[in-house]
Every structure is written in C-alpha cells, then in structure tokens.
Amino acid sequence: MKSLKIGNLCASMPVVQGGMGVGVSLAGLASAVANQGGVGVISSAGLGAIYNNYSKDYRAASIWGLKEELRKAREATRGIIGVNVMVAMSNFADMVRTAIAEKADIIFSGAGLPLNLPSFLTEGARTKLAPIVSSARAAKVLCQKWFSEYSYVPDAIVVEGPK
C-alpha cells in the first residue's frame, strides 16, 4: 500500500484510526496503531471523567489526562500520534491548546466546524490540523475562513459521510 503523507508526517500504513471517546481510544490503542505504521488517535472526549482522581475539576482533570495519555503514547511508540477534539465539547479550546503544547503530531477535529482551529497554533508549533467534514460545501466554507483569517489551509481533511 502507498504510504500516507501529511506534510512531514509519513504513515507507512495508510490507516488513520478514528478517535473514539469516552476512553475507547487512549494511549494503548493509539500507540498500537502507530507501531504498525498507521496514525494512532487519542480521543480527548471525557478525559476529565476518566482522570477524576487527579482533580474533581473536570477541566483541570481533562488537561492532565490528555498530557498523561500523550506521554504514555510517546513512551510506547515513535510513530504518529494524533488527538481527536470535538468542536461540540465544552473544553474544546483547552484540549486543542494542550495537544499543541504537548506536540501532538496532528489534531483531528469534527462534530461541528472547527472554524477557529488555526488561532490556537503557537510560534513554531508543528502540530498538523485536520478538520473532519461531511460535505464539499463544509470543506469549502472552512478552507475559505482559515485562509482569509489565518493564511492557513488544512494539512489534511477527513471526509466522513454515508456514501
């Protein structure tokens, strides 16, 4: 199979594992996929509930949890590790900021249009941004917005639909 290239990332196995919350795709699954040459994805959904022993504050526990899952994944693989962040989540911004600060290779973001995703990129950040869309129209609206506001276009686009 042909490898999948996203900027400087190269997945020898052209498979992107879907982010699955709550607690389904964490470091274990993501690193296993990455070790096979695919793109492993940690779901950031509900981490505050999983890591509630760290803090009863959901937001703080979620940030801690995502850092922990990325650390565990990095210990288990040198492959590509992404983070799935749903736009509909109340702590969307926290999870995006944490994924970028912790140098996740790529963020996949759907369940809404992530129109402001590039605004979270910091100087020198290498995290790739991949919106999940369900139509060409959504992709067009998003690309126009990103380009006009941030001079940025998606590093990859995930297209999901019934067909």
Which residues, including other chains, have CB under 8 Å from residue 86's CB and lie 6 or more apart? 21, 44, 45, 92, 109, 110, 111, 112
Q: Give the nearer residue to ligand FMN in terms of CB position, either 111 or 151.
A: 111
Residue choice 20, 76, 125, 141 for contact with ligand FMN (CB under 6 A): 20
Q: Give the nearer residue to ligand FMN in terms of CB position, either 21 or 65.
A: 21
What the block records as the tokens of 65 is 């949890």
Site string for ligand FMN, 86-125 (x = CB under 6 A): x-----------------------xx--------------
By CB under 6 A, residue 45 contacts ligand FMN: yes
Residue choice 43, 62, 77, 127 for contact with ligand FMN (CB under 6 A): 43
On whether the CB atoms of residues 117 and 141 are closer than 8 A, the answer is no
Q: How far is the CB of 34 from ligand FMN (least distance, A)?
A: 16
| Cα 53 from Cα 56, distance rounded (Å) | 7
Torsion, Cα of 1, 75, 18, 148 (10° steps):
-90
C-alpha angle 142-157-155 in degrees, rounded to nearest 5: 90
By CB under 6 A, residue 159 contacts ligand FMN: no
| Cα 1 from Cα 152, distance rounded (Å) | 30
By CB under 6 A, residue 154 contacts ligand FMN: no
Closest-by-Cβ residue to ligand FMN is: 18
What the block records as the tokens of 112 is 């809404």
By CB under 6 A, residue 21 contacts ligand FMN: yes
Which residues contribute to the site for ligand FMN (CB under 6 A)? 18-21, 24, 43, 45, 84, 86, 110-111, 132, 160
